[in-house]
Amino acid sequence: MRRIPIQTPVLVAVMLLSLALQATADPGRGFAESLINLSHLDHLYFDRNRDGEWVGMVGIYAEAPDYGLVGDEDEGFACVDDCARALQVYLRHHELTGSGRSWRRAVQLTRFLLGMEDDDGRFFNFVWKDMTVNRDGPTSRPEIGWWSARAIRALGEIHSRLVATAPLLAMRISGVMWRAARGLQRGPILDEQLEGTGSTRLPRRSLVIAAIYLDGFTRYLRHGRDENVRRVARGLARSLLASTRLNRMAEPAGAIRPMSGSRIWHGWGSHVGEGLVAGFDLTGDEAFLAEARRIAIEFDAFRLAAGLPGLYRPAIDHSEQIAYGISTRVSYLAALYRRGGEPFLAGLAGLHASWLFGNNRADEAVYDRDTGRCFDGVTRGIVNRNSGAESTIEALLALLDLASIRESHSWLSARRVEFAAGTGESKPGILATFEKSDGSRWDLTADPADGSCSLTPRAPRY
């Protein structure tokens, strides 16, 4: 085992937070009050009267040291891609804390998203500073892709909350869902049937985009009753499960290709696990959870031990780490834990989030709970201190996912202190050792052959 020196102090604030959370009857609310700070996201947020309707948006970039809002001359000043995720932050914060301000901003962001639809379930992405739509840019044109999928996911999540409070908005969302489902029946995200998969279509261009759509449809169908949307979602779920099995990578072992045929795995946009959990929620088929659990043991445990590399080419590439590459893993691991209760899943989710608090290549916190900023990543061991919308939003989403999971909280201050030589290979045994802020050391073990994974304490040293 290789040993890594521990820097001091080791996040005393997080240690105190853990103690405070153990003493409160509502760990989620206590977590939110102690650690989740929306100040920087509020700084990025603005609203405008657009065509007689007040809508909310978030600026895309904020640069150090003053963190003034910065647009992109070629793309725009705000985008659906970020606003959809900001909607989810504000909505989940409202649900956790009861904040009326967060609810109002979630509704205003909903209005913005609805106004960006191209009348066919696809969305334009960017607006310029004068609120006109960027209709021609390659990262803004309406397509079945990232920003359209994220809009569907966010609108699907807020829909049930609007039925009683803003029924006209809820009806508009139902129309979007119907049109998006119809578009997916003939869109480029789907390919020809593969014989023997039991699926009508398979994700062709991007498994992760398919997973985001499935997540959005599933959230909508918890209250929505459109049978066409349900039929498309079920077909997409079967396709995603079959395609996940077909796209397992040999190196890194256990990972899923983000796109069919890809030889590179990257953390950002890695939503397949979330899609598999959504497939279970939609169908009740335990095979979805089994596949997601397999990924956690065969890949995520080994990636944690390797120091959370952002890329495999297929060799490990530590050059860049960003919050977007962390939050998607936290999300699906937390969701798996909520559906099965296996302790190691809460531990893996918390350890992924510990990247925000210094368990990273820079050995420095990238999330500042005093300002609510999440910096724009770690590049070759150096923190990029800009703090744009995506980084801050993804950090907040990760923390919101963990808020109600008390078993994950003590892992936020953990550090990797030892790791096995050759980590990254799918070999059973002790993969790494992590030290918590109380000085206790825990061994991460995993064996893909028997499907076991655990975090076990070492005997105290005297």
N- to C-terminal Cα separation, the chain: 21
Other Cβ atoms closer than 10 A to 461: 6
Whether residue 357 is predicted with pLDDT greater than 50 in this model: the reply is yes
Residue 79: which region, alpha, beta or left (left: phi > 0; alpha: psi -120 to 50)?
Answer: beta
In 142-255, the DSSP E strands lie at 190-191, 202-203
- Alpha-carbon span 458 to 441, nearest angstrom: 6
Q: Return the pLDDT at 251.
A: 84
Task: Map out the domains of the chain as residue ranges.
Answer: 31-414
How far does CA 345 lie from the centroid of its chain?
A: 16
- The amino acid present at 227, given as its one-letter code, is E
105: three-class secondary structure by DSSP: helix
Whether residue 196 is predicted with pLDDT greater than 70 in this model: the reply is no
Whether residue 87 is predicted with pLDDT greater than 70 in this model: the reply is yes
Q: In 284-425, which residue ranges form alpha helices assigned H by DSSP?
A: 286-295, 301-305, 324-340, 343-353, 389-402, 406-409
pLDDT band at 137 (very low <50, low <70, confident <90, very high): very high
- Alpha-carbon span 84 to 2, nearest angstrom: 42
The model's pLDDT over 161-175, given as tens digits with 9 standing for 90+, comes to: 999 999 999 999 999
Q: Average model confidence (pLDDT) for the chain?
A: 89
Whether residue 187 is predicted with pLDDT greater than 90 in this model: the reply is no
What is the mean predicted confidence (pLDDT) over 225-245?
Answer: 92
Whether residue 277 is predicted with pLDDT greater than 50 in this model: the reply is yes
Would you state the structure tokens that stand for residue 170, as one six-digit string?
A: 């809820």
Q: Return the pLDDT at 269.
A: 81
CA distances from 36 to 27, 43, 336, 404 (A): 13, 15, 22, 12
Would you state the structure tokens that stand for residue 416, as one six-digit string?
A: 């990797």
Which has more confidence, 422 or 135? 135
What is the mean predicted confidence (pLDDT) over 26-37?
Answer: 84
- Alpha-carbon span 173 to 325, nearest angstrom: 29
Phi and psi at 446, nearest 5°, equal: -155, 145
CATH class of the domain at 31-414: mainly alpha
